[in-house]
Amino acid sequence: MIAVHFGAGNIGRGFIGMLLNKAGYDVCFVDVNKDLVSEINSRNEYTVLFADEGKETFQIRGVRAIDGQDLDEVAREIAHADIVTTAVGPNILKFIAPAIAKGIQQRVKSQKQPLNIIACENTIGGSTQLKAYVYDLLDESVKKQVESMIGFPDAAVDRIVPLQKNEDPLLVMVEPFFEWVIDQSKIIGSIPAIEGATYVNDLTPFIERKLFTVNTGHAVTAYVGYQYGFQTIEQAITNESIYRITKGALQETGNLLVRKYGFDPQQHEEYSAKILKRFLNPFLSDDVTRVGRSPIRKLSPNDRLVSPAMQALNHGIVPTHLGSGIAAAFVFDHPNDPEAMEIQESIKENGLTKTITRYTGIPDDHELFRIVTKQLDWIKKSRNDFYNH
């Protein structure tokens, strides 16, 4: 069984590639980082290290890699693969679509075996987005055949894997916890037997629960933590004031999720508490700048901050703490983050009001706009108080 996985990075090696390998797949990574590709091919194995007291290690053996820029080679692998997965970042999905489209066109001509392509990204409907990019590139003549042979089930993935600072370039340190939930209703053919993957018929509650708890909480901690000058998530969340803001944001999203999906309030509170504990993991050193990376993506209307805040208001919940997270993202001026720099440029050129509306879609006469600007004043003041103490 062949698994083609796009993105041999942290989640690729430390989560999806590891589970596919354990499930018996011959894992072929596709990556544009040539050094990474050649390192994987020279060793054909790598180590996953658990970030906890036990520091258990796992050897992932028998893996290989190919260059993502070699469209012909990637297409050949896809034509014979048994599963295709991705962990490249939501913004990269459009760039891997040409190789996938080429592979699919070859495949449907030569065989009838169904194939499922699963995007494992932090976004709602990642596989559906990828499907749209791929379909844009398919010949009309094969689309009908592809519709019945190639599935694009959406998925939710949860495992914190920070930036790696190891001597061994392939070693990847991960938190022991993981959750991989896949939309079974969109699978074509038999369900891939992957130990640790959970199949559900309706993914929406799972993806929103994950994105609006883990990723919302993380983003709020990162953006507010950055304002207070903290380097890591652990340092930030240990600060009483940031803990209160993050917990408040999770109460807002929690109230929303309980009302929207009928989750048991007690169970949801336990879920949120477990996530706050994961942020406190002293064995993970996770930079606030990694967790806050790409603020334009994170501030977009369907992502982890604005979507739950809008929905909360529609359910009669006042999203003050989510408003703090959104506000802090507008003053996240990390020089190495191109999206952060673009927002700062926009504020300089067009002013704050236009910039907020442009990136979040929140009209300037909306209640959420008022909350965000109020929280921005509060953040600036509390940051100054923090530094003056």
Ligand X SMILES: NC(=O)C1=CN([C@@H]2O[C@H](COP(=O)(O)OP(=O)(O)OC[C@H]3O[C@@H](n4cnc5c(N)ncnc54)[C@H](O)[C@@H]3O)[C@@H](O)[C@H]2O)C=CC1
Ligand Y SMILES: O=P(O)(O)OC[C@H]1O[C@](O)(CO)[C@@H](O)[C@@H]1O
Binding residues for NAD(+): 3-14
Site for ligand X, rule CB under 6 A: 6-12, 30-33, 36, 68, 87-90, 92, 95-96, 121-122, 157, 159-161
Closest to ligand X by CB, 10 vs 360, is 10
Task: Supply angle C-alpha 239, 254, 122, rounded to 5.
Answer: 80
What percent helix, strand, coil does the chain show, rounded to 5?
55, 15, 30
Q: Name the binder of 103 from ligand X, ligand Y, none, CB < 5-8 A by kind.
A: none
Q: Smallest distance from the beta carbon of 111 to ligand Y, in angstroms? A: 35
Cβ within 8 Å of residue 94, ≥6 positions away: 133
Closest to ligand Y by CB, 158 vs 252, is 158
Q: Name the binder of 68 from ligand Y, ligand X, none, CB < 5-8 A by kind.
A: ligand X
Output the CA torsion sign for 366, 369, 374, 377.
negative
Q: Smallest distance from the beta carbon of 299 to ligand Y, in angstroms? A: 12
Q: Name the binder of 215 from ligand Y, ligand X, none, CB < 5-8 A by kind.
A: ligand Y
Count of CB atoms within 10 A of residue 175's CB? Answer: 20
Residue list for the binding site: 3-14
Closest to ligand Y by CB, 218 vs 268, is 218
Instruction: Give the C-alpha separation, 4 to 104, whole Å.
Output: 13
Tell how far CA 16 is from the center of its chain.
Answer: 13
Contact in structure between 104 and 143 (CB atoms under 8 Å): no
Q: Smallest distance from the beta carbon of 255 to ligand X, in angstroms? A: 25
Q: Smallest distance from the beta carbon of 26 to ligand X, in angstroms? A: 18
Site for ligand Y, rule CB under 6 A: 122, 158, 160, 214-215, 218, 291, 293-294
Scanning the structure block, which residue is given the tokens 């000058």?
Answer: 229
Closest to ligand X by CB, 173 vs 327, is 173
Closest to ligand X by CB, 214 vs 242, is 214
Structure tokens at 41: 């091919």
Q: Name the binder of 218 from ligand X, ligand Y, none, CB < 5-8 A by kind.
A: ligand Y
Instruction: Give the C-alpha separation, 250 to 263, whole Å.
Output: 14
